[in-house]
A and B are shown apart, each in its own frame.
Chain A
Amino acid sequence: MSATDHSISAGGLPPARLLPGHAALRRVIAADIRPGLAISAIFLAVLVFAGIFPNILAPTDPLATDPSHIFAAPSLDHILGTDENGRDVFSRLVHATRSSLLLGLGAALLTTSVGSLLGLLAGLGPRWIDNIVMRISDILQSVPEILLILVIIAFWGASMSTLLFGLGFAGLSNCVRQVRAQSLVLRRAPFVEAALTLGLRRWHVVLRHVLPNAIKPVLVLLPLQIGIKISAVATLSFLGLGAPPPAPNWGGMLAIDRDYVLNAWWVAAAAAGVITLTVLSIATLGRDLIRRSEGRR
């Protein structure tokens, strides 16, 4: 529509001279990108870059200790100062990015995929499967998330796999419920009945027609999920239940002795700042996605 308008007007008038950035700027305005959203996206892009190429951003070894520079204030050598072992805070933050993002992403994907599968089973399968799945989700929901993870850690010890497993379990019941509710509606939808009447195989209908529609609300919530998981990873690391000590992690950097906080605020401030910005950026992006999917402006 707009393209034809353009060609008609361009035929009669001399071609307008646009600045190079003009078209891009117009597209940004048309896409309704708010400044907060742009900042969030840029920050997350930097974060992903730091996760993939930590050595380019921070060439200093995050594990190298320097006894003569314990708790050095931010300077040109150490732009965010050093911590209680004289390690470079900036470098530790950058090198901790990968594990934080991967754990958050992995746990969110685990929750979403297992939850969707169980939700589909409950919504489309026979009544008794529905009952079993829903009662399990009742039980999962009745134990607060962090406590559930602590139980799993108490049983099988703190390691990367138990952390991932525990984080994946937390929030599972919400996902199951959403997908189940969707698929209960969809199994009676005209297009699904039409597909079945046409003689398509059941699993084909489930995978091609029900699944894509049923998981839409869950997919829209995926960014928020990732944010929640990253925040949970940081919390567990803060409690001393994250990755083992020498490897840097965001939450662990805040678990330093509280007496240090007053004298060496940069250690805590830098880690708190990065975690806050990450979680906020993801929340901003996630909320925008929800807004768009609901057609609100």
Chain B
Amino acid sequence: MKHLKYLAWRLAAGAFVLWATATIIFVAINLTPGDPAITVLGSPEALPTPAVLALIRSEYGFNEPMHTQYFHYLLRLLHGNFGESYRLHAPVAHLIGQQIGASAKLILGAIPLALGVALVLAVSTAKRARWLTGWFDFIEVTLASIPDFILGLLLLLAFSFSLHLFPSSSTQGWTSIILPILTLALPIAARLSQVLRRELEEILEQPFIVTARTRGLSDSAVRLGHALRHALIPTLTIAGVLFAGLLSQAVVVETVFNRQGLGRLMSDSATNRDVPLVLGIALLATLVNVVVNIIIDLTYVIIDPRVEK
């Protein structure tokens, strides 16, 4: 019952964020000076024909009073109708549907890899010799702070142009996805590993760890069985933020590796000021973010039963 109530509260909060985002977008479209139909189209440089303008006006109902427009707008969003991309002459929902698979493959590959690398790195290097942690710390800071596109270009240069281990373009079989996944996963793994190691180092000094060691448990049993669970909560908080931002990174990675996907679609649309398409993808990203955060919050309860509100 308690859990259900918490879940319901979280879902309501998530729905609020989505509603508010949609509302802000509505306000932004209407507050931008000039003809809102032109704003939706992108810019006056798009040179819309009167027919297209009339179509947008009737579709968005710009002639109707504001509250009717707003109501219709929310209703359309609820039906999954994000409008039409006038650049690609197709409904936004359809275009997103076409590209979502490629990005999902990338992101779903990167998440377990990032988690795995971070866990192995942090658990095996926490509270080891100073020079060892120092080196790993340096590598992690480097990975975490260089821009993603530089990491991608470096990987491309090393493994595909020089060593010819992986193809450089997306059309050459399943191996072509390995470098993009690495580019997505490594910076996240580095950030997670830093947080996790710091937490582990604090926890490995706690009295209950000493107790576990005096019971004769091996070092790895202490680390995995006793310390890790306590270090996971703060790590998951960061992981939630990082995973929710993966679509942002996909924009860069898909451009570097010349892949299809939502990120590529997003940056192309922003360049061409295809407002409906950009807003559709941004709303989708908000939805993903809300869902990821709810999942993370529910995981807290599993990891640490004390976390119950």
Residues of A within 8 A of B (CB): 36, 135, 138-139, 141-148, 150-151, 153-158, 227, 231-232, 234-235, 238-241, 251, 254, 258, 261-262, 265, 268, 272, 275-276, 279-280, 282-284, 287
Contacts and interface: CB of A to CB of B under 8 A. Distances in A.
Contacts of A279: 145-147
Interface in B279-297: 279, 281-282, 285-286, 289-290, 293
Interface of B: 16-17, 20-21, 24, 28, 32, 39, 42-43, 138, 141-142, 144-150, 153-154, 156-157, 161, 168, 244-249, 251-252, 255, 258, 266-267, 269-271, 273-275, 278-279, 281-282, 285-286, 289-290, 293
A133 to B, nearest CB: 13
B286 A153 contact: no
B147 A143 contact: no
B251 A154 contact: no
A261 B146 contact: no
Contact of A143 (B21, B168, B249, B267): B21
Contact of A142 (B17, B32, B269, B278): B17
Q: Chain A interface secondary structure, helix, strand, loop or mixed? A: helix
B28 A139 contact: no
A155 B150 contact: no
Nearest to A153: B270
Nearest to B278: A154
A157 B156 contact: no
B252 to A, nearest CB: 6
A239 B156 contact: no
B282 A151 contact: yes
A150 B267 contact: yes
A265 B150 CA distance: 13
B147 A235 contact: yes
B271 A268 contact: no
Contacts of A276: 142, 146, 150
A155 B255 CA distance: 22
A290 to B, nearest CB: 12
A53 B245 CA distance: 38
